Each structure stands twice: as structure tokens, then as C-alpha cells.
């Protein structure tokens, strides 16, 4: 089968289209014939091996899991021993190791049945961003009527956070660059502001919950935007040093938290099939949509990651083998 694989960390040049044997699913695993794979900043971080502290867990010289792609939608090709929820031929979506390929392995508990009402492209864009959004909303304990700010509202996590927070009854303000403001409004934000021209301090003290997905705002500013007793959810980790990234900011938030009136929550999302079931229900009810911005052929996956990191994708990018 064809796959986009890397043997060392670096820029997108390290990603090569190669022919490798089709993997066999182990116990509790499923082999999925990939119809579409979402493109995420998680893939970009794995490609770069940054922040470098990640390499202690993921592989010193190159990633132990060599094929990129972690969001998948496709058809079950083979099931491993003990798999009970899926059969050959089922359409599924969820988390995978190595979805930028013709076939990919997923643990059974990280998949859900694909919503019949949406395409594989749409389904493939949702597990990482949608799952993160569900877990962030749960952690923040959003209540109907809450004013919620989403910084980075036009990206892979933001497009789902805006919609799911609105479904939870919140009044959402989205922050994005000018080209993504219409998208953010179309997803249900009551207001969308351009961070390049708008001074966010005009919203001081307004929000019950602030999600920082872009990861670029000082903690003091995030506190200023949030009400007393409100919650500040740190989702994104862009910027910061190559070694630690935004880890320092997250540590400061944890140290600060007991002494300030707001709750700092550092989100570490997990890939849980139960969240994907929740996404499926929303898609089938027609109250959630997956904004596919751009599609790429498998061989163009390196360019897809470059475009994502450059902020050129409104909504989500998808690779189609």
C-alpha cells in the first residue's frame, strides 16, 4: 500500500510517499481502508518533533510511529481478534495511527460508526477537533446563556468549539483572521472579531469561559477577558521555545490557579470513541457541520501540512488516498 512516512524529524521534506506492506490488525484493532484523512496540527508537531521534549516519549531521532495522519474515515477491511463492535464493510471514523495511507490501523475503542448523512471527507475532519471541543466544553462546565470566547475559532478545533458551545446554549464570540470571520459567523458565533485589527481588551470582564486555541495570548490578558469565577481553557500550544513550546505557560497557569479568582484548565484531550459517538449523533441530527476547506491527494500531504501551519486553510484540510 502507499503511505506518507518519515524516518527523521524536520520540515515537510522528510515526508516521503512510499510503498509498504499493509499492516495486520492486532487484538482489539481494526484495519480501515482509508477514504479520507484529516490534517491536524498534531501531525505537524509529530513531523517536526517539536516541542523537542515530546521526543522523549515519541522517538529520539524520528517518530516511532512513522506514518503520519491521525484522523480517519473509511471502511473496515479486516478486524483483529476480540473486536465486537465492527464488522468488515462497516463505514467508520475516528482516531488512527497512520491515516495518510491506503490502509490504517485503529483500536476499536477509538472508532465510531460514520454518520450516514455526511461524506467521508466531512467525517475525517472531526475526530481531533470535535473530540477536543467536547472535552474542553465538559471541563469548562458551560451553562446556557454563558458568554464564551473562542480564540482561534476558524481552525480545526475552533470550528467545532464554536458549534458545540452554541449547542450547549452559549453565546459565542469567535476570534480569527479577516478571511475566516464569515466562516466563524456561519457556524453560529454571535460575533466574530479580527485579532489583527481588533483590541480584545474592549471585552474586559465579559466572558464566563475563554478558550485559547491559538496559544498565543499572555495569561494576564486571558484573565482580564474572563469574569471572576470564570474558566480559562488552554488548548493550543503554538509558539514558545523549540524545546518546551508553551509548557512554561501551562506550568505558570497551574501555579497561578490557586491564587486567582478564575479557573485555569490545561486541556490534554484524549481520543475517546464515546466522544466520536456524540459527534455522530450531532451530525445525524443535522446540528453540526464539518467545514472542509481544502482537499489534497495523498502525495500532496506534505503541502497540506505546510498550508495548515501557514494558516492558509479555512476550516479543515483533508487528504484523500
Shortest Cβ 79–ligand NAP spacing (Å): 28
Do the beta carbons of residue 108 and residue 275 sit within 8 Å? no
Q: What are 320's strand-pairing partners?
A: 297
By CB under 6 A, the residues from 276 to 295 that bind ligand NAP are: none
C-beta of 76 vs 133, nearer to ligand NAP: 133
Q: Of 23, 38, 94, 158, which lies in the binding site for ligand NAP, with binding defined by CB under 6 A? A: 158
Binding mask 112-151 for ligand NAP (x = CB under 6 A): ----------------xx--x------------------x
The residue among 193, 191, 125 whose CA lies nearest residue 160 is: 125
Among 14, 170, 219, 267, contact with ligand NAP (rule: CB under 6 A): 267
Provide the minimum distance between the beta carbon of 131 and ligand NAP in the complex, in angstroms, as a whole number.
8
Q: Does 157 bind ligand NAP (CB under 6 A)?
A: yes
Which residue, 296, 169, 150, 149, is CA-closest to 213? 150
163 binds ligand NAP (CB under 6 A): no
Using the rule CB under 6 A, which residue among 112, 148, 235, 265 binds ligand NAP? 235
Question: Which of 176, 225, 231, 319 touches ligand NAP by CB under 6 A?
Answer: 176
Q: Does 308 bind ligand NAP (CB under 6 A)?
A: yes
Q: Does 40 bind ligand NAP (CB under 6 A)?
A: yes
Closest CA to 262 of 213, 211, 209: 209
195 touches ligand NAP (CB under 6 A): yes
Rounded CA separation 192/211 (Å): 14
Does residue 188 belong to the site contacting ligand NAP (CB under 6 A)?
no
Nearer to ligand NAP, 30 or 176 (CB): 176
The reply on whether position 268 binds ligand NAP by CB under 6 A is yes
Q: Characterize the bridge pairing of strands 191-194 and 29-39.
A: unpaired
CA torsion through residues 93, 95, 100, 103, sign? negative
Region for residue 255 given its phi and psi (left: phi exceeds 0; alpha: psi -120 to 50; beta: otherwise): alpha
Measuring CA to CA, how many Å separate 169 from each of 31, 97, 142, 220?
A: 38, 34, 8, 27
CA 275/CA 277 separation, integer angstroms:
5
Helical segments of 141-218, H only: 158-167, 181-186
Site for ligand NAP, rule CB under 6 A: 40-42, 45, 128-129, 132, 151-152, 154-158, 175-177, 180, 195, 213-216, 235-238, 267-269, 308, 311
Amino acid at each position: 500500500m502507499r503511505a506518507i512516512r518519515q524516518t527523521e524529524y524536520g520540515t515537510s521534506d522528510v515526508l516521503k510517499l512510499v510503498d509498504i506492506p499493509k499492516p495486520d490488525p492486532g487484538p482489539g484493532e481494526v484495519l480501515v481502508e482509508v477514504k479520507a484523512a484529516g490534517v491536524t496540527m498534531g501531525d505537524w508537531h509529530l513531523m517536526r518533533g517539536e516541542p523537542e521534549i515530546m521526543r522523549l516519549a515519541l522517538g529520539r531521532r524520528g517518530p516511532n510511529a512513522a506514518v503520519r495522519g491521525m484522523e480517519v474515515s473509511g471502511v473496515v477491511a479486516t478486524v483483529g481478534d476480540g473486536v465486537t463492535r465492527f464488522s468488515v464493510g462497516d463505514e467508520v471514523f475516528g482516531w488512527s495511527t497512520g491515516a495518510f495511507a491506503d490502509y490504517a490501523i485503529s483500536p476499536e475503542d477509538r472508532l465510531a460508526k460514520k454518520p450516514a448523512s455526511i461524506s467521508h471527507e466531512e467525517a475525517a475532519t472531526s475526530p481531533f477537533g470535535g473530540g477536543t471541543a467536547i472535552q474542553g466544553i465538559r471541563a469548562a462546565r458551560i451553562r446556557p446563556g454563558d458568554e464564551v470566547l473562542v480564540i482561534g475559532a476558524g481552525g480545526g478545533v475552533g470550528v467545532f468549539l464554536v458549534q458545540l458551545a452554541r449547542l450547549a446554549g452559549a453565546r459565542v464570540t469567535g476570534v480569527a483572521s479577516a478571511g475566516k470571520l464569515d466562516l466563524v459567523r456561519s457556524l453560529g458565533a454571535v460575533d466574530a472579531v479580527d485579532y489583527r485589527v481588533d483590541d480584545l481588551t474592549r471585552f474586559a470582564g465579559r466572558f464566563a469561559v475563554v478558550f485559547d486555541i491559538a496559544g498565543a495570548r499572555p495569561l494576564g490578558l486571558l484573565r482580564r477577558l474572563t469574569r471572576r469565577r470564570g474558566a480559562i481553557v488552554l488548548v493550543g500550544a503554538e509558539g514558545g521555545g523549540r524545546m518546551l513550546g508553551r509548557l512554561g505557560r501551562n506550568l505558570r497557569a497551574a501555579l497561578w490557579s490557586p491564587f486567582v479568582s478564575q479557573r485555569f484548565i490545561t486541556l490534554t484531550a484524549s481520543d475517546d470513541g464515546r466522544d466520536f459517538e456524540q459527534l455522530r449523533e450531532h451530525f445525524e441530527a443535522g446540528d453540526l457541520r464539518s467545514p472542509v476547506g481544502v482537499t489534497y491527494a495523498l502525495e500532496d500531504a506534505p503541502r497540506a501540512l505546510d498550508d495548515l501551519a501557514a494558516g492558509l486553510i479555512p476550516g479543515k484540510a483533508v487528504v484523500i488516498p
